[in-house]
């Protein structure tokens, strides 16, 4: 480790020497920890990041030639759904597929103190989100008679709690050898206005996880990619932790990604039609010859509102953060051949083996130690800038990328906020609606209110049915559902 004089000089060179303001007050261990934390930061990149993202609100790059991205329609019209399913199923039977969940986020909007995966996800039985996703993997392993390893990305802020959860819960019923938790990287958190890196405590730099885009580097750095290679895994089914309805393993999507003529098998995505023009989801577009996601906040307003001849939104393909990613694609991104050639990157210009995802800026309320008084400050308004990369920014790095349409109610019930949209309440409602539809397909009458919503709470585990047809043979169908019932199947 470099000595304190050297680190102080390097910090002074980038105007961050205030990070050592309380160094003399720390214990020997505290000093060591602080210096190790500072050394792990890429200090050379700091002045450029501050200039570009902290002092100014950067304008994101939006191509001039945006058009809606073509999508494989949910109806199956014009493409071979059963052929895609067969291709996906044979990959699953051969053990070529891994599940990957990003769970390193801070969940600040939900306000839950702990990893979000520990938060209750299922509508009736109260299963944690981790268990909801694990049940899909267990069901798929049973159906395809193969092992599906599960890689979970945590952050330094929630890693120990996540690992502790899996240890205490028997790996959610999975084989311990098939569950691997690894940590993503962090970025320093900057004070808005001044660009000073904040101190979380006198001996601790304030940091934030580097975004779900950090997964593409962390998969490599953690050894997870190597582990996949040794198991013969070729494709990675990417999901977020906050959506208990997600089809963690979807043979149709996997097969389309791997075998469709217009897919390079590198990175594919699912979309749902936007609920309305102003919905806060990224939109799949084509621009500069590539498929890409444009964030809702960057999408030109007039394009967001544009409608086609039938009155539907022209830019309608909302991202639900579900992807299949080829293992080789991530290897290529991390390989020495991939040379950073533009400056909107998180790696020094021209450095080999460090691919470029742009940073996105978020303004946050971050508690910190006041440099003058040494007191802890709990801000009441946003005081800090957090920089993150987003995984969907890798889509244009793929040669050819496809998008598959799916039904919101079948696969998308995220828990983001404590109340209102995308909250535990809406998540329960969507799970109930999906279960009601499936039960109705199976001939069970479900009580509905005058507005059409089910007058009950329902949940169907993937262990009971992965598709509505499975209900016919599950042996658990209720004879009837009454108003006010809460039923978990
Ligand atoms: P969100 O964008 O919803 O962020 O993450 P969040 O941190 O969970 O919640 P807020 O914004 O603080 O309220 C979407 C998914 O990406 C993961 C999250 O765990 C979630 O599954 N994620 C996000 C990471 O794994 N790492 C990150 O750095 C950010």
How much distance in Å is there from the Cα of 114 to the middle of ligand 1?
13
Question: Which residues are CB-contacts of 336 (< 8 A; sequence separation ≥ 6)?
Answer: 352, 353
- Shared domain for 390 and 480, answered yes or no, is no
What's the pLDDT tens digit per position in 60-89?
A: 889 999 999 999 999 999 999 999 999 999
Residue 460 has pLDDT above 90, yes or no: yes
Question: Which residues are CB-contacts of 22 (< 8 A; sequence separation ≥ 6)?
Answer: 199, 202, 203, 369, 374
Q: Chain-wide mean pLDDT for the chain?
A: 94
- Shared domain for 47 and 79, answered yes or no, is no
- Shared domain for 471 and 405, answered yes or no, is no
Residue 95 lies in a domain: yes
Of 101, 102, 104, 105, the residue with max ligand 1 atoms within 8 A of its CB, to mutate for a pocket test, comes to: 105
Residue 200 lies in a domain: yes
- Shared domain for 429 and 401, answered yes or no, is no
pLDDT of residue 56: 86
Q: Return the ligand 1 atom nearest residue 109 CA.
A: 13
Take atom 5 of ligand 1 and give the residue whose Cα is closest: 105
pLDDT of residue 341: 42
> On the CB side of 105, how many CA atoms lie within 13 Å of its CA?
22
- Shared domain for 476 and 447, answered yes or no, is yes
Question: Which element (helix H / strand E) includes 323?
Answer: strand 317-326
Residue 61 lies in a domain: no
- Shared domain for 336 and 479, answered yes or no, is no
Beta bridge partners of 292: 285
Residue 201 lies in a domain: yes
How much distance in Å is there from the Cα of 31 to the middle of ligand 1?
31
- Shared domain for 263 and 287, answered yes or no, is yes
How much distance in Å is there from the Cα of 364 to the middle of ligand 1?
14
How much distance in Å is there from the Cα of 480 to the middle of ligand 1?
39
pLDDT of residue 355: 74
Residue 383 lies in a domain: yes
Helix, coil or strand: residue 346: coil
Residue with tokens 């023009």: 277
Of 162, 212, 366, the residue with max ligand 1 atoms within 8 A of its CB, to mutate for a pocket test, comes to: 212
Q: What's the DSSP call for residue 307?
A: B
pLDDT of residue 336: 72
What's the pLDDT tens digit per position in 16-43?
A: 999 999 999 999 999 999 999 999 999 9
How much distance in Å is there from the Cα of 386 to the middle of ligand 1?
12
Q: Which residues lie with the beta carbon below 6 Å from any ligand 1 atom?
A: 102-109, 116, 153, 155, 184, 209-212, 214, 240-242, 388, 416
- Shared domain for 231 and 328, answered yes or no, is yes
How much distance in Å is there from the Cα of 112 to the middle of ligand 1?
13
Residue 276 has pLDDT above 60, yes or no: yes
How much distance in Å is there from the Cα of 388 to the middle of ligand 1?
10
Q: Return the ligand 1 atom nearest residue 242 CA.
A: 21
Q: Return the ligand 1 atom nearest residue 362 CA.
A: 11
- Shared domain for 19 and 101, answered yes or no, is no
Residue 60 lies in a domain: no
Tell me the average pLDDT across 222-239.
Answer: 98
Residue 163 lies in a domain: yes
Q: How many domains does the chain have?
A: 3
How much distance in Å is there from the Cα of 430 to the middle of ligand 1?
21
28: domain range?
A: 4-54
Q: How far apart are CA 207 and CA 393, in angstroms?
A: 22
Q: Return the ligand 1 atom nearest residue 209 CA.
A: 28
Tell me the average pLDDT across 221-229.
Answer: 97
DSSP for 441-465, written as a single string? HTT----B-TTS-BSSEEE--TTT-
Closest CA to 393 of 297, 263, 295, 298: 295
pLDDT of residue 342: 38
Take atom 28 of ligand 1 and give the residue whose Cα is closest: 211
Helix, coil or strand: residue 178: helix
- Shared domain for 436 and 394, answered yes or no, is no
Given a contact cutoff of 8 angstroms between Cβ atoms, the answer to whether 104 and 213 are in contact is no
2 pLDDT tier (thresholds 50, 70, 90): low
Q: How far apart are CA 436 and CA 439, in angstroms?
A: 5
What CATH number does the domain containing 336 carry? Answer: 3.90.550.10
- Shared domain for 294 and 399, answered yes or no, is yes
What's the pLDDT tens digit per position in 146-200?
A: 999 999 999 999 999 999 999 999 999 999 999 999 999 999 999 998 999 999 9
How much distance in Å is there from the Cα of 93 to the middle of ligand 1?
31
Tell me the average pLDDT across 312-336.
Answer: 95
Tell me the average pLDDT across 380-407.
Answer: 97
Given a contact cutoff of 8 angstroms between Cβ atoms, the answer to whether 475 and 140 are in contact is no
Domain boundary among 54, 75, 90: 54
Q: What's the DSSP call for residue 242?
A: T
Given a contact cutoff of 8 angstroms between Cβ atoms, the answer to whether 318 and 272 are in contact is yes
How much distance in Å is there from the Cα of 89 to the middle of ligand 1?
30
345 pLDDT tier (thresholds 50, 70, 90): very low
- Shared domain for 119 and 223, answered yes or no, is yes
Residue 436 has pLDDT above 60, yes or no: yes
Dihedral sign from CA coordinates of 14, 15, 19, 21 = positive
Tell me the average pLDDT across 125-144.
Answer: 98
How much distance in Å is there from the Cα of 416 to the middle of ligand 1?
9
Q: Return the ligand 1 atom nearest residue 388 CA.
A: 28
Q: Return the ligand 1 atom nearest residue 210 CA.
A: 28
Lowest mean pLDDT among 282-291, 354-363, 438-447: 354-363
Residue 47 lies in a domain: yes
Take atom 17 of ligand 1 and give the residue whose Cα is closest: 105
Q: Return the ligand 1 atom nearest residue 211 CA.
A: 28
Take atom 7 of ligand 1 and give the residue whose Cα is closest: 105
pLDDT of residue 59: 82
Domain boundary among 422, 437, 453: 422
What angle is formed at CA 192 by the lines to CA 188 and CA 198, rounded to 5 degrees? 40
Lowest mean pLDDT among 53-62, 267-276, 383-392: 53-62
Domain boundary among 402, 422, 442: 422
Q: How far apart are CA 103 and CA 456, in angstroms?
A: 31
């Amino acid at each position: 480790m470099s000595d304190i004089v050297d680190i102080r000089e390097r910090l002074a060179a980038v105007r961050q020497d205030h990070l050592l303001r309380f160094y003399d007050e720390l214990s020997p261990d505290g000093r060591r920890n602080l210096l190790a934390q500072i050394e792990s930061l890429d200090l050379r990149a700091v002045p450029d990041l501050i200039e570009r993202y902290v002092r100014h609100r950067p304008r994101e790059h939006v191509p001039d030639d945006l058009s809606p991205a073509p999508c494989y329609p949910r109806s199956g019209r014009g493409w071979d759904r059963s052929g895609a399913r067969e291709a996906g199923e044979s990959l699953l039977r051969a053990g070529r597929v891994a599940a990957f969940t990003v769970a390193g986020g801070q969940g600040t909007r939900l306000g839950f103190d702990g990893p979000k995966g520990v938060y209750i996800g299922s509508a009736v039985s109260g299963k944690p989100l981790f268990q909801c996703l694990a049940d899909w993997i267990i069901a798929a392993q049973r159906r395809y008679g193969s092992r599906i390893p599960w890689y979970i990305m945590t952050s330094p802020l929630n890693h120990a709690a996540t690992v502790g959860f899996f240890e205490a819960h028997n790996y959610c019923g999975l084989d311990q050898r098939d569950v691997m938790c690894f940590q993503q990287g962090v970025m320093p958190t900057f004070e808005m206005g001044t660009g000073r890196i904040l101190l979380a405590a006198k001996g601790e730099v304030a940091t934030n996880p580097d975004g779900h885009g950090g997964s593409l580097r962390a998969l490599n750095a953690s050894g997870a990619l190597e582990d996949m290679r040794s198991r013969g895994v070729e494709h990675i089914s990417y999901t977020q932790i906050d959506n208990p309805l997600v089809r963690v393993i979807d043979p149709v999507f996997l097969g389309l990604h791997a075998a469709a003529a217009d897919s390079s098998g590198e990175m594919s995505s699912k979309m749902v039609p936007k609920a309305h023009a102003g919905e806060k989801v990224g939109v799949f577009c084509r621009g500069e010859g590539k498929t890409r996601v444009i964030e809702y906040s960057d999408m030109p307003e007039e394009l967001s509102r544009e409608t086609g001849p039938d009155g539907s939104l022209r830019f309608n393909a909302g991202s639900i953060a579900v992807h299949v990613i080829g293992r080789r694609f991530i290897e290529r991104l991390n390989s020495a051949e991939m040379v950073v050639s533009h400056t909107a990157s998180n790696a020094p210009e021209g450095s080999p083996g460090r691919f470029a995802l742009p940073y996105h800026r978020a303004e946050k309320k971050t508690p910190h130690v006041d440099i003058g008084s040494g007191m802890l400050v709990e801000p009441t308004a946003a005081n800090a800038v957090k920089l993150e990369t987003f995984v969907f920014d890798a889509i244009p790095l793929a040669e050819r990328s496809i998008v598959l349409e799916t039904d919101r109610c079948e696969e998308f019930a995220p828990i983001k906020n404590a109340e209102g949209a995308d909250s535990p309440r809406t998540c329960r409602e969507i799970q109930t609606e999906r279960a009601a539809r499936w039960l109705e397909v199976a001939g069970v009458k479900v009580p509905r209110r005058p507005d059409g919503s089910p007058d009950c709470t329902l949940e169907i585990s993937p262990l009971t049915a992965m598709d509505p047809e499975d209900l016919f043979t599950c042996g658990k169908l209720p004879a009837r559902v009454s108003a006010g019932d809460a039923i978990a199947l």
